[in-house]
């Protein structure tokens, strides 16, 4: 048996999650947000900016 290259076992996540860093304008908390409308985990404010 002559097998060249062996099985390719690459694990690619089907749903690639893109996280971005945000800073809350209200309390200054910096966090990683997912999606278009991230929410501050500290004060639940949506008034955040991408950093
Ligand atoms: Zn906040």
Tens of pLDDT, residues 1-47? 666 666 666 665 556 677 899 999 999 999 998 877 899 999 999 99
d(CA 40, CA 4) in angstroms, rounded, equals: 51
Nearest to 26 by CA among 6, 42, 13, 38: 42
- Ion ligand 1 residues within 5 Å by Cβ: 24, 26-27, 29, 40, 42-43, 45
Cβ neighbours around 12 below 10 Å, total: 5
Sheet containing 48-50: which strands, arranged edge to edge? Answer: 30-34, 19-24, 48-50
The domain locations on the chain are 19-50
Tell me which of 15 and 48 has the higher pLDDT. Answer: 48
CB distance 50 to 20 below 8 Å: yes
C-alpha of residue 11 to centroid of ligand 1, in Å? 36
Res 36: pLDDT: 79
Res 35: pLDDT: 79
C-alpha of residue 41 to centroid of ligand 1, in Å? 7
Res 12: pLDDT: 58
């Amino acid at each position: 048996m002559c097998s060249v290259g062996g099985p390719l076992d690459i694990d690619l996540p089907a749903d690639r999650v893109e996280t971005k860093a945000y800073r809350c304008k209200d309390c200054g908390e910096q966090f990683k947000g997912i999606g278009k409308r991230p929410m501050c985990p500290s004060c639940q404010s949506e008034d955040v900016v991408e950093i």
